[in-house]
Structure 1
Amino acid sequence: MNIKSIRFRLTILYSLAFFIGTVVMFVIFYIVTKQTLLLQTDQELTVHAEALANIIVNGQSNMMTGVFNQGVITQQFSEMPGMLVAVSDGSGKISTSSQQGAQSDPIIKDLLQKSSMIVKPVFVDRTIGSTILRIGVFPVSVNGSTTGLVLMGDPIEAIYHSLNSLLVSLFIINLLFFIPALIGGHILARKAMEPVSAISKKLAKITSDNLNERVGVLKTSDELEELAMTFNSLLDRIAQAFQRERQFIGDVAHELKTPVATLRGGIELALSKKRTNGEYTQTLSGTLIDVNRLSNTIRNILDLAWLGAENANLGEHHFDISTTVTELRDIGEKLAAQKHIAIQGDVEPNIQVVGVEDKIYRAILNVIDNAIKYTPQDKTVSISLFKKRKMAIVRVKDTGSGISEKDLGHIFDRFYRGSKTAKTVGSGLGLAIAQGIIQAHGGDINISSTLGKGTSVVISLPLYLAV
Structure 2
Amino acid sequence: MKLRNRLTLLFTGMIAALLLLFAGVVYLSYSHDREEEYYKTLQQQAVTKANLLLDAKVSPEVLQLIYKNAAGSRSQEEVAVYDTAFNLLYHDAVNIDKVKETRQMIREIVLHKEITFHEDNLQVVGFLYPHNGTAYIVTAAAEDEYGLRQLQLLFRTLLITFLVAAVLVFLVARFFSQQALKPVSDMVDKVEEITATNLDLRLAGAAGKDEMAELAQTFNRMLDRLEQSFDAQKQFVSNISHELRTPLTAMMAELEITASRDRPAEEYRQSMRHAIADAQRLVKLSNSLLDLAKASYDPSEINFREIRLDEVLMDARSAVLQAHPEYKINVVFEEADDDDMVSVNGNEYLLKVAFMNLLENGCKFSAPPATTVTVTWFKAHTILRFADDGIGMSKEDLPHIFTPFYRGDNRPYADGNGIGLSLALKIVRLHKGNISVVSKPGHGTTFTVELPHI
TM-score (norm 2): 0.76
Q: What is the alpha-carbon distance in structure 2 between the residues aligned to residue 405 and residue 47 of structure 1?
A: 107
For 2:427, which of 428, 437, 455 is the aligned residue? Answer: 437
What's the CA shift for 1:243? 0.7
Query: Please, what is the CA RMSD of the aligned residues?
Result: 4.4
Q: Which amino acid aligns with 1:124?
A: T
Q: How far apart, CA to CA, are the structure 2 residues paired with 1:69 and 1:403?
A: 129
Letter in 2 for 1:344: V
The 2-side partners of 1:459 and 1:248 are apart by: 28
**Who is 2:19 aligned against?**
22
Aligned to 1:213: 201
Contact 2:404 2:418 in 1 (8 A): yes
Q: SS in structure 2 opposite 1:425?
A: coil
Partner in structure 2 of residue 416 of structure 1: 406
The yes-or-no answer on 1:343 pairing with 2:343 is no
C-alpha distance in 2 between matches for 1:420 and 1:142: 128
Counterpart for residue 104 of structure 1: 101
Partner of 2:118: 126
Pairing of 1:285-324 with structure 2 (within 5 A)? 285-310=273-298, 312-315=300-303, 321-324=309-312
The sequence identity of aligned pairs, in percent, is 22
For the structure 1 residues 367 and 380, does the alpha-carbon distance in structure 2 shift closer, same or farther, using more than 3 Å as the test?
A: closer
Give the structure 1 partner of residue 242 of structure 2: 254
Q: Distance in 2 between matches of 1:245 and 1:354?
A: 30
Alpha carbons of structure 1 residues 134 and 374: separation in structure 2 relative to 1, 3 Å: farther
Deviates more, 1:241-250 or 1:272-281: 272-281
Name the structure 2 match of 1:327: 315
- Answer yes or no: is the 8 Å Cα contact 1:88–1:96 preserved in 2: yes
- How many Å separate the matches in 1 of 2:121 and 2:61? 22
- 2:417 is matched with 427
Give the 3-state SS of the residue equivalent to 2:159 in structure 1: helix
**Structure 2 residue identity aligned to 1:443:** K
User: Closer, same or farther in 2 for the Cα pair 1:226/1:71, shift >3 Å?
Assistant: farther
Q: Which amino acid aligns with 1:433?
A: L
- CA 1:153–1:345: 2 relative to 1, 3 Å: same
Q: How many residues align?
A: 438
Is 1:372 aligned with 2:363? yes
Q: 1:74 to 1:216 in 2, by over 3 A?
A: farther
Aligned partners of 1:92 and 1:148 also within 8 Å: no
The CA distance in 1 between the partners of 2:102 and 2:367, in whole Å, is 117
Structure 2: which 5+ residue stretches go unaligned?
A: none
SS in 2 for 1:428: coil
Matched, 1:284 2:272: yes
Give the distance between the partners of 1:126 and 1:456, measured in 2 at CA: 97
Pair 98,45 (structure 1): closer, same or farther in 2 beyond 3 Å: same
* Cα offset, 1:178, TM superposition: 4.8
Tell me, in whole angstroms, the C-alpha distance in 1 between the residues paired with 2:376 and 2:192: 53
Residues 396, 457 of structure 1: 8 Å contact kept: yes
TM-score normalised by the chain length of structure 1 = 0.74
Task: Report if aligned partners of 1:92, 1:112 keep a CA contact under 8 Å in 2.
Answer: no
Match of 2:253 in 1: 265
Q: Could you tell me whether the CA contact under 8 Å between 1:135 and 1:154 is conserved in 2? A: no
Letter in 1 for 2:330: I
After alignment, is 171-180 or 255-264 more displaced? 171-180
1:428-467 counterparts in 2 under 5 A? 428-440=418-430, 442-449=431-438, 451=440, 452=443, 454-460=445-451, 463=454
Secondary structure of the residue aligned to 1:343 is strand
Alpha-carbon distance, 1:364 to partner: 1.7
Instruction: Please state how far the C-alpha of 1:249 moved relative to its aligned partner.
Output: 0.9
